[in-house]
Structure 1
């Protein structure tokens, strides 16, 4: 049943974004990635500081975490946007 939907919806996915109201624009995925990473980075910063008791180390960990996970989240969102299951 799910496979049938994926196959049948694949032909419909060739539409332009303006014709397909089920998908998101990439800019929305970017905004969601940035806002989520701000929250996640604050969490990482606090936990890193509590574990290391060093602001510089905690900030370094949080900075790397922010950049790498933002890119991962963006591509994760775009991949899920292509899957019609549950829409």
Structure 2
């Protein structure tokens, strides 16, 4: 089973990648770095929260593990 700390570190790294990507997509789509950045931050907060919850749920599921 993963520790909570490992799940959070994985989520942070994943969301940094998503933040950068979403900022660029928002910039290209809107032509505004401010709007693109705002969209990216909102997306990152939502995505981070859901990812941590998702990982914690799967950490408690024994199906498919070789223990």
Q: Same fold (TM over 0.5)?
A: yes
Equivalent runs, 1:38-57 vs 2, <5 Å: 38-57=16-35
TM-score by length of 2: 0.92
Per-residue deviation at 1:80?
0.6
Name 2:59's counterpart in structure 1.
81
Instruction: Return the alpha-carbon distance in structure 2 between the equivalents of residues 86 and 45 of structure 1.
Output: 36
Per-residue deviation at 1:65?
1.0
Q: Please tell me whether Structure 1 or Structure 2 has the larger radius of gyration of its CA atoms.
A: 1
SS in 2 for 1:83: coil
- Structure 2: gaps spanning 5 or more residues: none
Name 1:33's counterpart in structure 2.
11
Question: Number of residues paired by the alignment?
Answer: 65
TM-score by length of 1: 0.72
- Structure 1: gaps spanning 5 or more residues: 1-22
